[in-house]
Structure 1
């Protein structure tokens, strides 16, 4: 699936990847962890009517959908504002307290998956988007520099890249700075353009969220969307596809299996 490509004719020299949902599916299902946690925090023990409960579900789902890709602390800031604003739950925590609870819940499933990897009952390929390792290998052989920027906490994304056996492909991995509300993706793109000296048309950003796509477009980079089905690890997720189209992705795929197509988008014709 494509839209117009303003980068035609230029060979990409650097690629910035999002991580979760783009390369890794270790955190697949995070939405199903965040949504009920948010609902409990907002509603507390208040006796909501069925209509109020359904409307709250819709509000939470809509927010999660439009905030995909941002740093978790900003999602928890929204949660704290909702708890205070609706007034159903007298116990209003701080954004960092909500983040700690969300991370605790999410890491239960993530760590269980990592343990299965370490025990050998599953392999790294069971948690990588299909075609991703051959694609990364192809980029490396062509001398294209690769980077990761993620809204996941920095120590966690580094550890998960290591567990999945892909850390060595990247010149740098930047996760969310622990204890600071900074956008790692925005900073990494700025550093690549302003400090490392890549031109906008020499940089591609690949991700499954609108945040990185929007940032790429703002800075004149090639914005490539991956509308990943994180359960199947291949094929198009139509919800993500619509989100990425709205954000302005130049091209959209569901996985990395068609390596030739990806290379063509990057300006590198296959032999």
Structure 2
């Protein structure tokens, strides 16, 4: 586990907002490998790229995906539409929602195959949950901590995937991206926790693997806990995510949830 702050939390956390994909669930692991080639195809069109152009475009796309992890997919597709128009290599410039539909179609082929394997009993839900997450959620639930999920994944999909993985009942609310609207579910849930549910900022924590949720936590005075998850192994530190979360200003960073005592300490909760 890593720490980017030497301070000790004194106020016990009363509510936690979780990111979902890459933080709790690995059903969508590998989404970057779906998004990157789709973006490259859309930008390049029928143009025969030189090696230099191809490598430069690969870097540009990879850098954007890295820095945009955690935001709503529609905003990533808006960037894509802008890049297709800006480069001018592809005469067919689609709208952001059309690009999103195609990306979802490709990604959901993989997700649905994984869900089918779960439903057929070929795999267990624990095969697609971050190590230690089930025990951690159970401990938090037993202590009366209110838990919420906010995700950039479309709302119906994230609700369904939480049910498939058997963690749906732990959360008082699951908020995915609203279908057909470009709103940030993470910012909205954080606003609701502060303004409608009456929590103080020092009673709140956000746990996630992207810098978007870390930024939201820091901007609102909540505890920002990063999960530098290795989504293939489901445990241990992913060095790329580690650096991303450090740069974003996470108060604490871990690779999984196996060390529950330390997680509870970070949250200001009694580990006994």
Partner of 1:230: 231
User: Which residue of structure 1 aligns with residue 166 of structure 2?
Assistant: 165
**Corresponding residue for residue 270 of structure 2:** 269
Corresponding position of 1:188 = 189
* Match of residue 90 from structure 2: 89
Q: Contact (CA 8 Å) 1:5, 1:251: kept in 2 or not?
A: no
3-state SS, counterpart of residue 152 of structure 2: strand
Q: Structure 1 residues 176, 233: closer, same or farther in 2, change over 3 A?
A: same
Distance 2:6 2:12 in 1: 13
Tell me how far apart the structure 1 counterparts of residues 134 and 258 of structure 2 sit (CA, whole Å): 10
Q: Distance in 1 between matches of 2:6 and 2:223?
A: 8
Give yes or no for the alignment of 1:78 onto 2:67.
Answer: no
**Aligned positions of 1:1-271 closer than 5 A:** 1-4=2-5, 8-271=9-272
Q: 1:254 & 1:3 partners in 2: Cα distance?
A: 14
Output the CA distance in 2 between the equivalents of 1:233 and 1:190.
30
Q: Is the 8 A contact 1:3 1:250 kept in 2?
A: yes
8 Å CA contact 1:227–1:241 kept in 2: the answer is yes
Give unmatched runs, 5+ long, in structure 1: none
TM-score, length-scaled by structure 2? 0.99
Instruction: Please give the alpha-carbon distance, in whole angstroms, between the structure 2 residues aligned to 1:5 and 1:140.
Output: 27
Q: 5+ unaligned residues in a row in structure 2: which ranges?
A: none
Residues matched between the structures, number: 271
Secondary structure, in 3 states, of the residue corresponding to 2:3?
Answer: coil
Superposition RMSD in Å: 0.7
Give distance in 1, aligned partners of 2:23 and 2:6.
Answer: 21
Deviation at 1:81, TM superposition (A): 0.2
TM-score normalised by the chain length of structure 1: 0.99
Is contact 1:16-1:149 (8 Å) kept? Answer: yes
Shift of residue 269, structure 1, vs aligned partner: 2.5
Deviation of the 1:4 alpha carbon: 1.7
Tell me the distance in 2 between the aligned counterparts of 1:38 and 1:5: 41
